[in-house]
Amino acid sequence: GFRKVDPDKWEFAHESFLRGQKQLLKSIRRRRSPHQGNAGTSSHGLGVKYDFDGEFDEGAIVVEIAQLKKEQENIDREMEDMKRRLELTERKPQQMIAFLATLIDNPALITQRLKNRASPSGAKKRRRLPQNDQEENMPELGVESLIENG
């Protein structure tokens, strides 16, 4: 634990650390160890950095603002990507319902579609879509081709 030390036996190795001379404290910087980030400054609350004398460090604030802006841009990009994926996910069930509604309205489409797949003359090979378009457009192609062929 800690033990009490007699104040008369204190030793100070830094030449700027003198009793009663607060103006010299600004020049004292703590040695940085490799595992510590900002050892020379302390953080109070919202990430604002202060020197040992209680004044805020403008350089550290500017760097932190730049980092926060970059982080915010990354978060915004992730949000846009999530919104796009959510819209695609929501669109698929709607397309499926539209497809099923078309089949219910016109049951002959089912038999016509099955005949086209079974007969060799009706079996047409579809051209493959590029990988990125395939995910978005594949459900739409099924509904559109039924409507066009029907």
Torsion of CA 110, 116, 119, 123, to 10 degrees: -140
Question: Is 30 a domain residue?
Answer: yes
Our CA angle for 127, 95, 112, nearest 5°, is 60
Domain span holding position 27: 7-56
89-98 pLDDT tens trace:
999 999 999 9
Would you say residue 68 lies in a domain?
Answer: no
Residues 49 and 93 in one domain: no
Which tokens in the block code for residue 140?
């739409």
Is residue 71 one of the residues assigned to a domain?
no
* Total count of domains within the chain: 2
82 within some domain: no
The gap between the terminal CA atoms of the chain, to the nearest Å, is: 86
Residue 1 lies in a domain: no
Check whether residue 92 and residue 144 sit in a common domain. yes
Do the domain assignments include residue 45?
A: yes
8: which 2 tokens? Answer: 């008369």
Residues across the chain: 150
Give pLDDT, residue 44: 45
Q: Is the pTM of this model over 0.85?
A: no
Q: Considering the chain, what is the average pLDDT of its residues?
A: 74
